[in-house]
Amino acid sequence: MVLPENMPMVSHTRIGLIERYREFMPVTEKTPIISLMEGSTPLIRADRLAGAISPNLTIYLKYEGLNPTGSFKDRGMTMAISKAVEEGSKAVMCASTGNTSASAAAYSARAGIDCIVLIPKGNIALGKLSQSMIHGAKVIQIEGNFDEALTMVRKVTDNYPVTLVNSLNPYRIEGQKSGAFEICDALGTAPDFHAIPVGNAGNITAYWKGYKEYFAHGKIKRLPKMIGFQAAGSAPIVHGHPIAQPETIATAIRIGNPASWKSAEAARDESGGLIDMVTDEEILEAYKMLASMEGVFCEPASAAPVAGVRKLASAGFFKEPATVVCVLTGHGLKDPDMAIKMASKPITVPANMDALMKVLGY
Ligand code: F0G
């Protein structure tokens, strides 16, 4: 089929974040922009949730699950893959708890380059694994955890012509900082608190960079306090030392030695915020509250900031009225096994009206 010359490559009802925030992105007219129209995700005001957590809070949910591959990773990946292609790279590689690999696989497919992913066997949610596979990445499971996988990937990318696309790649951070711009553009100001899950600690680093850049450009007049949350079984920053065998049901943040540890601490300290931890039980309660009270379905790791805000609120942390943005980093469909486990089971009835009316109770 021959397309007319002027046929657009994509629909422009939604634009990718490099195009939206071009002046803040390290691209030139020579950079090939590899995009799937990522970013511009909704900022949803969650009054029922706030009502259940604290009368002092106005809570917004930055629903990052609505990115093209279902997580915030697409923000960083559009930048990282665009720059890799600009620099002539033919292959990229990452270690992942699942979302980075899904995003790297999709953007590599779109760019027509190879993608290799190293994942911890048995600790990847089903949706994420299926994404990497269907996009044609070379998927290698290691009998080890994320931290071990990342060490191995760094050795390969240091020594062979393969581009690292973990968040140690500075272009990942550049793309991901756009989330902060969108929040400020939507609110007309920065929130009082920015609540975020912390795993490998790239995203808290990126958001803080974004807020600081917007502040320096006079787009906002104040900065938020960054409040990060790790899972209790995987909380190296909270404990102040690496965790050799991290554990949590929130597999996305099952990380014992975050690569961006120092810059996460800098974000915490410069903003006057904190990094705390929440138990798996607290995470799952928040996960169910989001789905049942607000109709917002996120994956367990994404519920950590909501669990954390709830924990702080019940300890009397929020003394004044405050606005909190919680970043919901990944979509609930990423981890269908967890949703099925946590919800009530479907009722089975024979295909007749009597049986149906009996269970409906009418
Ligand atoms: N939430 C989700 C859904 C994630 O997938 C991740 C990280 C985080 C939060 C934490 O972000 O690492 O920047 O502090 N996932 C990485 C991955 C590690 O491989 O997909 P972070």
| Other Cβ atoms closer than 10 A to 333 | 15
What is the whole-number distance in angstroms between the Cα of residue 104 and the centre of ligand 1?
A: 13
- Ligand 1: residue of 200, 208, 338 to mutate (most ligand atoms within 8 A of CB) is 200
- Ligand 1: residue of 77, 151, 194, 203 to mutate (most ligand atoms within 8 A of CB) is 203
* Helix (H) or strand (E) run with residue 48 in it: helix 47-53
What is the whole-number distance in angstroms between the Cα of residue 199 and the centre of ligand 1?
A: 5
CA of 167, closest atom in ligand 1: 13
- pLDDT of res. 162: 98
Per DSSP bridges, beta strands 114-120 and 193-197 are: unpaired
* Helix (H) or strand (E) run with residue 227 in it: strand 225-231
- pLDDT of res. 244: 97
CA of 205, closest atom in ligand 1: 13
CA distances, 328 to each of 61, 145, 349 (Å): 6, 24, 36
Q: Name the residue type at position 63.
A: Y
Q: How far apart are CA 176 and CA 43, in angstroms?
A: 16
Q: What is the pTM of this model?
A: 0.96
List, in order, residues 6 or more apart from 330 with CB less than 8 Å away: 64, 65, 70, 71, 72, 99, 252, 298, 299, 301, 302
- pLDDT of res. 173: 98
Q: How far apart are CA 301 and CA 338, in angstroms?
A: 11
- pLDDT of res. 13: 75
Ligand 1 cavity residues, CB under 6 Å: 71, 73, 96-100, 167, 197-203, 252-253, 299, 301-302, 329-330
CA distances, 26 to each of 153, 174, 322 (Å): 25, 8, 34
Helices (H), 241-331: 261-271, 280-294, 304-314
What is the whole-number distance in angstroms between the Cα of residue 197 and the centre of ligand 1?
A: 8
What is the whole-number distance in angstroms between the Cα of residue 349 and the centre of ligand 1?
A: 41
> DSSP character for 345?
P
Task: Please name which of 326, 237, 318, 263 lies closest in space to residue 290, comparing C-alpha atoms.
Answer: 326
The residues with which 43 forms a beta bridge, in sequence order, are 62
> Is 76:167 a contact under the CB 8 Å cutoff?
yes
Low-confidence ranges of the chain (pLDDT < 50): 1
- pLDDT of res. 70: 98
Nearest Cα residue to atom 4 of ligand 1: 252
* Helix (H) or strand (E) run with residue 68 in it: none
